[in-house]
Every structure is written in structure tokens, then in C-alpha cells.
């Protein structure tokens, strides 16, 4: 399980760095509450975005994006609502993005970002 966790942490770090390079403000990483965990909470202009990151080494069991089911999206919605309720700051828009990261045997990670996935 430790290797799988390391792969997931690496993918989240890659995504957080890319979002920051795009000018987004990363507010939280691995925010937890009783309902679960949000991978990344970031601000894209005046929009608060919950970013679900799925990282895979191969597509043997499907793509990273395919791992985000409708049930998972519903859970992310609840988590984002809990996060928003805990914040004094307000935002113009709310969005959920999904980012799939595939780690090839050699070379840079392949990142696929789906904005407004839900």
C-alpha cells in the first residue's frame, strides 16, 4: 500500500505545481473532514475548485479519469460543501475538476485535466 500511496502523492504534487504555474492559488492539499478527503482545493480567478486527482502507472485497469465514478463525484460535492461551510471567504463560482495523471516507465507524467467534470 505504501507504493500506491507514494504514486498518488506524486500525482497530486505534479497537479498542484501545474495549477500554480497556471496562476491558480492552491488553498488546501489533502483537506479532511468526517466525510472524507479533498485532494486539492484551489482558486481559479473567482472560482473555487475541488480538484480530484487520480494517478496511474498504467491503463491496465482503465484510465485514471475512468476511476472517477458518479458516486465519487457526489461525494466530492458533499466534501466541497463542507469545506465551503468552514470558510469565511466567498467565491463567485464553484466547480469540480478531475485530473488524470499517468506515469510512464520513462519520461514526464501525462496529465489530462477535465474542467467542470460535475
What CATH architecture applies to the domain 2-114? Answer: 3-Layer(aba) Sandwich (3.40)
Secondary structure element (H or E) that encloses residue 38, with its range:
strand 36-44
Q: Count Cβ atoms below 10 Å from residue 99 Cβ, excluding itself.
A: 27
Grid coordinates in use for 110? 501525462
Confidence (pLDDT) at 99: 96
Mean pLDDT, to the nearest integer, of 18-26? 97
Q: Is the pLDDT of residue 23 over 80?
A: yes
Domains of the chain, residue spans = 2-114
CA–CA distance, 56 with 102 (Å, rounded to integer): 5
CA–CA distance, 56 with 73 (Å, rounded to integer): 19
Quickly state the pLDDT bin for 66 (edges 50, 70, 90). confident
Convert the pLDDT of each residue in 71-88 to its tens digit: 999 999 999 999 999 999
Mean pLDDT, to the nearest integer, of 34-41? 97
Of the chain, the percentage scoring pLDDT greater than 70 comes to: 95
Grid coordinates in use for 82? 463542507
CA–CA distance, 114 with 72 (Å, rounded to integer): 15
- 77 touches 118 (CB < 8 A): yes
Mean pLDDT, to the nearest integer, of 83-111? 91
Quickly state the pLDDT bin for 54 (edges 50, 70, 90). very high
Grid coordinates in use for 57? 502507472
Q: Count Cβ atoms below 10 Å from residue 27 Cβ, excluding itself.
A: 15
Amino acid at each position: 500500500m505504501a507504493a500506491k500511496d507514494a504514486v498518488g502523492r506524486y500525482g497530486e504534487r505534479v497537479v498542484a505545481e501545474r495549477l500554480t504555474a497556471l496562476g491558480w492559488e492552491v488553498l488546501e492539499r489533502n483537506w479532511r473532514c468526517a466525510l472524507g478527503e479533498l485532494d486539492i482545493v484551489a482558486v481559479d480567478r473567482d472560482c473555487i475548485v475541488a480538484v480530484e486527482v487520480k494517478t496511474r502507472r498504467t491503463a491496465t485497469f482503465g484510465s485514471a479519469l475512468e476511476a472517477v465514478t458518479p458516486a465519487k463525484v457526489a461525494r466530492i460535492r458533499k466534501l466541497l460543501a463542507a469545506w465551503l461551510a468552514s470558510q469565511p471567504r466567498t467565491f463567485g463560482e464553484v466547480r469540480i475538476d478531475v485530473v488524470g495523471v499517468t506515469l510512464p516507465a520513462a519520461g514526464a507524467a501525462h496529465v489530462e485535466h477535465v474542467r467542470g467534470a460535475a
